[in-house]
Amino acid sequence: MKFPRAIALTAAAGLMTLGASGAVGAAEPIKIGVVLPYSSVYATIGNDITDAMRLAFDELGGKVAGREIVLIREDSEVKPNVGLAKAKKLVHQAGVDLLVGPVASHVAGAMAQFVNQAKIPLLIPNAGNNLLTGEQCSPYVLRTSFSNDQFVRIMGPWLKKKGYNTAFLMASDYAAGHQMMEGFKKSFVEAGGKVVGEAFPPLRTTKDYAPYLAKVKAAKPDTLFVFFAGGPAIQFVKQYDAFGLKKDIQLSGAGWLTSPLFLPAQGDAAAGFIGSLNYIPSIDTPTSKAFQTNFKAMTDRVGSEFAAQGYDTAKLIFEALKQTGGKTDDKMAFIEAMHSVKITGTRGSLRIDRKTNNIIQDMYIFETKKMGGKVGYNILDTIKAVQDAPKGCKL
């Protein structure tokens, strides 16, 4: 198997010059600007998405209608002003045909306003803010990852059905944390459950979760439903285990808590969690198995849910480009193609909802457990074709 190769911005600029002189003509590359974090706390996520995109395009031949696909990277630094500046640079200086990014929702908000004005497609491979495909939707912003609601609203009725009647909610104190908890709370209460407490520890400054866990212990819920990612996920899982609540209170929540990116640091403390996610490495399908094998061979890493999203994003883009015959001048024709394609990705059947520009996908409810000497994933249930309501989106 030929592995993907990095293509520098200077190389892309050289190809652009040849195209302008007529030497390349129809062979001018398709330029995809990638605005993701390659530094700071989310660098591992940015690298996972980018590496998986390169893998997918390489597997597909790397060309559409004779045009080479070129990825041009820029570091968002997880800062809205930086992400916006990098998007503008890619569009106005590098002349990219479309953009992919970012990871964080606040960066996506800044970029979304720009692409709507510039009329260039932006495909979001991670940021989950509900508003981006809800009341603040744009024809030019398409999401290939998830909305925050997709993960959590399926868990309310599922947990209630399994006998968990009361829940305490806990998440980092920022937009995604509040959206996750509101989405779960609504579905859980509608299913007959009762929320007995809520807590929102500050995102960057919380190092000790003991005061919050003491409140959970006093409330005596059947389940503690959480959303943490990155460093906070590692810290929280270890402290929850050390606090000794596992035997009495089921830990549940958005599945990023025990992502493959965090499991090595969490160790055995991660066992016993019930979560929901759009991709689990143990999905037993030919597409997922091949992805894991090839991603491991390329990077020496397990393919995370973030890598799966990057891989599927590239496949969706490729199929849409095939439908346009490799033409990228007509942006709305490309967007229409994105609406019409349907692929079998790492996560299962995937397509973009033309009513919201959000992805329609399967969701997996899983448990983490000790298997073969290490913590792994056991899928408990699959919720097919989870789709968002428009929620104010008018496309």
**pLDDT tens per residue across span 88-121:** 999 999 999 999 999 999 999 999 999 999 999 9
The answer to whether residues 136 and 33 belong to one domain is yes
Question: How much is the average pLDDT of 229-252?
Answer: 95
Residue 374 domain-assigned?
no
Percent of the chain with pLDDT over 90: 89
Which CATH number does the domain housing residue 331 bear? Answer: 3.40.50.2300
Record the pTM.
0.91
Contact residues for 25 (Cβ-Cβ < 8 A; gap 6+): 19
The answer to whether residues 168 and 213 belong to one domain is yes
Residue 381 domain-assigned?
no
Instruction: Find the angle CA(170)-CA(174)-CA(178) to the nearest 5 degrees.
Output: 50
Residue 156 has pLDDT above 90, yes or no: yes
Residue 377 domain-assigned?
no
Domain range spanning residue 136?
9-146+284-361
Residue 368 domain-assigned?
no
Helix axis angle, 105-118 to 175-190, nearest 10°: 100
pLDDT at 27 (0 to 100): 80
The answer to whether residues 138 and 159 belong to one domain is no
Contact residues for 179 (Cβ-Cβ < 8 A; gap 6+): 128, 129, 130, 148, 149
Residue 25 has pLDDT above 80, yes or no: no
Residue 380 domain-assigned?
no
